[in-house]
Amino acid sequence: QVKGHSIGNHHLYLAKYFIIKQNEALWYTFGGGTELVIRTGPAVKPSVSLLPPSSLQISGDSAALLCLLSSYSPQGAQVSWTLYGSEVTEGVQTSAESERDGRYSRSSVLSLSKARWEAGERFVCRVTHDGADHETSFLKSSEC
């Protein structure tokens, strides 16, 4: 169902989609357009933690960096990874946001080869939330 409304030269359209799973509640999802989020309180910045690969992972052929976002509001935090100032998309898996008590969390994993990890590069997890950017970086020193 799509409804439209005009104010001067501006047009607002609202689309509602209903997905009902058997024996479950009614859920709303958004299409590919603009999502409207109505705040019920002040914005809370995400707490961001960046975790390096474990020694067990490094003993294999791969490595994974984990960027954790927690306890933020409203929803809508975006995560990206950069290396030498360029965005990395290959090997990135970002979870959907989960909500508990009005606060949101999500995680993003950057998977890479052991050789790339040991090359001593600066990996950056960039978080965009409520119009502000925050970067957390991890410098893998080749001397470690």
Yes or no: say if 50 and 136 are a contact pair by the CB < 8 Å rule: yes
DSSP bridge partners of 139: 122
What is residue 32's predicted lDDT score, i.e. its pLDDT? 67
pTM: 0.71
pLDDT tens track for 54-65: 888 887 888 999
Q: Is the pLDDT of residue 141 over 60?
A: no
pLDDT tens track for 32-88: 667 666 667 789 999 999 999 988 888 788 899 999 999 999 999 999 999 888 999
Domains of the chain, earliest start first: 47-139 (2.60.40.10)
What is residue 93's predicted lDDT score, i.e. its pLDDT? 97
Contacts of 23 (CB under 8 A, 6+ apart): none
Please name which of 66, 77, 67 lies closest in space to residue 44, comparing C-alpha atoms.
77
